[in-house]
Structure 1
Amino acid sequence: MIKSQDPLVSKKDLSPFLDCKDYTVSRETFSLVKDNTTGLLVTSPRPSLENLSSYYESEDYISHTDSSRSLMDKVYQMIKGYSIKKKLKMINKLAVTKGHLLDIGCGTGDLLAACENDGWKIDGVEPSEKARALASEKIATTECLEESLEAILEKKQNKYDVITMFHVLEHVPNLTQYVDSLHQLLTEDGCLIVAVPNYKSYDADHYKQFWAAYDVPRHLWHFSQESIQHIFGAKGFHVAETLPLIFDSFYVSMLSEKYKTGTSNLIKAFKTGLRSNIKAKRSGQYSSLIYIIKKSK
């Protein structure tokens, strides 16, 4: 059922969870299969590595652009600007030292630029050539940008005090290998910051197959708090802290309303996003969560 089976996914304890449609590019339908051992959801069938890039070929894939044409674009860029400031503040608070930072999935380079301007030594990983070109215009040390994590590993020049992955882990094809690489690249006292959607949130349950954060097949994995703890715990890490991404519920609800009804329904989306955050204050199940992860001693 699942191609390119990852060692972290049980081969014996799988069950159907939900069928979802790719609303961004192909309009194809994919299944979500649950690994009952870890709680991880897996997209099936998985595109081959050769075909996966074709599912990103859309102007609607906004994280690879600085577009401000549509209302959705404007909302995204406004939230992004605010979020960059919050992320930098969080990084500086968590870091033992303001040393070397790696931003995986750096997109158009806004967080990298903010960190560089704040005194960090920076490296970035971004598969999209278009996004890397935009990022190189914002930072001084353009040679720090690489296409893949493998390219960073080949350098073998330094380890990182902070590694950030904001909405990236759900995209990586080889989850086990990737987590192993993160362990190799992080200093002993370093901090790994991972943000991913949470399929146990209220807005995910409310929109079900229309929930925009499933984003099949670009999202190959779909996480809960339990699955993150299981995956990283098996690889020499522990989750030190879990933090909410408050704005994600609103933006995801706007996209989900569009997928479900054909229009953004801003008022309805706002109410759903707000309700999700209110419920999450008690349950902890926010639309997206930031995991502060450190090496186990």
Structure 2
Amino acid sequence: MDSSKQDNFDTNYITCKDYTVSGEQFNLILDPEMELLITSPKPDLNKLGSYYKSEDYISHTDSKSSFTDKIYQSVKKRMLVKKLNWIETHSQKKGKLLDIGAGTGEFLLTAKNKGWKVKGIEPDENARELAQKKGLKLVSDSSNFKAEKFDVITMWHVFEHVYDLKNQIIELEQLLKKGGLLIIAVPNFKSYDALYYKEHWAAFDVPRHLWHFSRKSFEKLFRDTSFSLIEEKPLLFDSFYVSLLSEKYKNKKSNFLKAFLIGLRSNLKAKRSSEYSSIAYFFQKSV
């Protein structure tokens, strides 16, 4: 996807606010051909890091200071094991696993303890330091792995942050072995909770999320690549957590009961439509 194309679209899907750092407003521009939303204006690459400088950006911390943090960390521990089990149903051996956007390293630590040879990429220095304390040495970019091939590559809620999607997909093809497994988990802007909360939907998370995907957009992005989509897995907890944050953005206060009901309704509706709040896409490399 060529980011320069976004100026050619005149369909403003919605206008959102950055609730985490800057308070700035951004438009989500619809690319009707790709069924994809694009954050506009797209921040300059050199300035993008400033939008991550917040203690509220929980994936770069191990914070348990608030009730919401405690919920997130508790469910995250359970999901780490579940994610690894998903991988092991598709991978015949415990080989080399690369996690891109590894955060503080919790997923890699879980995989390492189960016998995987793990490596990780994490641009945020503070997150890398927290991972280092757990015995994991993460690197800031992929330049360290040019000569390596991996059996499994994971991107858990990272793909929407990638600056250049086309180059990222090319790099994934280079890093993954033939027959290897690629897992990419992203929010789905066609889920019920996204349609309910609209501009207050926390998973839009502008401008850190540069792209906003539908299930169709994933089919189209990977259509002419060496990757074949073999399975989709819903991340059921995400609808509840995102709804909790969205309630706060919309009404300036948390409403746990309302968020639970919206999250539950989103998951129930998705049983028929498959439009879950977040989806993990499983690809296998054919060549």
- The TM-score with structure 1 as length reference comes to 0.93
Q: 1:277 maps to which residue?
A: 267
Q: 2:3 aligns with which of 1, 6, 12?
A: 6
Cα distance in 1, alignment partners of residues 95 and 2 from structure 2: 37
Deviation (angstroms), 1:234: 2.5
Q: 1:50 maps to which residue?
A: 46
- Do the aligned partners of 1:30 and 1:217 also contact (CA within 8 Å) in 2? yes
- Do the aligned partners of 1:14 and 1:35 also contact (CA within 8 Å) in 2? no
Secondary structure class of the residue paired with 1:76: helix
Secondary structure class of the residue paired with 1:196: strand
Cα distance in 2, alignment partners of residues 6 and 184 from structure 1: 22
Cα distance in 1, alignment partners of residues 11 and 227 from structure 2: 27
Cα distance in 1, alignment partners of residues 144 and 197 from structure 2: 39
Deviation (angstroms), 1:295: 2.0
Q: 1:241 aligns with which of 228, 231, 238?
A: 231
Amino acid at match of 2:89: K
Q: In the alignment, is residue 164 of structure 1 matched against residue 154 of structure 2?
A: yes
Q: CA RMSD in A?
A: 1.5
Q: 2:130 maps to which residue?
A: 134
Deviation (angstroms), 1:136: 1.5
Q: In the alignment, is residue 89 of structure 1 matched against residue 85 of structure 2?
A: yes
Q: 1:149 maps to which residue?
A: 142
Cα distance in 2, alignment partners of residues 64 and 272 from structure 1: 27
Distance 1:14 1:189, change over 3 A: farther
Q: In the alignment, is residue 74 of structure 1 matched against residue 70 of structure 2?
A: yes
Q: 2:202 aligns with which of 206, 212, 234?
A: 212
- Do the aligned partners of 1:146 and 1:152 also contact (CA within 8 Å) in 2? no
Cα distance in 1, alignment partners of residues 171 and 161 from structure 2: 15
Deviation (angstroms), 1:97: 1.8
Q: 1:60 maps to which residue?
A: 56
- Do the aligned partners of 1:96 and 1:190 also contact (CA within 8 Å) in 2? no
Q: 2:108 maps to which residue?
A: 112
State, as a whole percentage, how many aligned pairs show the same letter.
Answer: 52
Cα distance in 1, alignment partners of residues 6 and 127 from structure 2: 35
1:54-83 per-residue CA deviation (whole Å, 9 max, x = no partner) reads 000000000000010011111110111111
Q: 1:181 maps to which residue?
A: 171
Cα distance in 2, alignment partners of residues 10 and 25 from structure 1: 24
> Which stretches in structure 1 are left out of the alignment for 5+ residues?
none
- Do the aligned partners of 2:97 and 2:117 also contact (CA within 8 Å) in 1? yes
Deviation (angstroms), 1:232: 1.3
Deviation (angstroms), 1:150: 3.1
Deviation (angstroms), 1:235: 2.4
Cα distance in 2, alignment partners of residues 217 and 256 from structure 1: 16
- Do the aligned partners of 2:38 and 2:210 also contact (CA within 8 Å) in 1? yes
Deviation (angstroms), 1:16: 1.4
1:192-246 per-residue CA deviation (whole Å, 9 max, x = no partner) reads 0000000000000000000000000000000001101111112222211111000
Cα distance in 2, alignment partners of residues 92 and 260 from structure 1: 40
Secondary structure class of the residue paired with 2:228: strand
Deviation (angstroms), 1:14: 5.2
Amino acid at match of 2:282: I
- The TM-score with structure 2 as length reference comes to 0.96
Q: In the alignment, is residue 266 of structure 1 matched against residue 253 of structure 2?
A: no
- Do the aligned partners of 2:179 and 2:286 also contact (CA within 8 Å) in 1? no
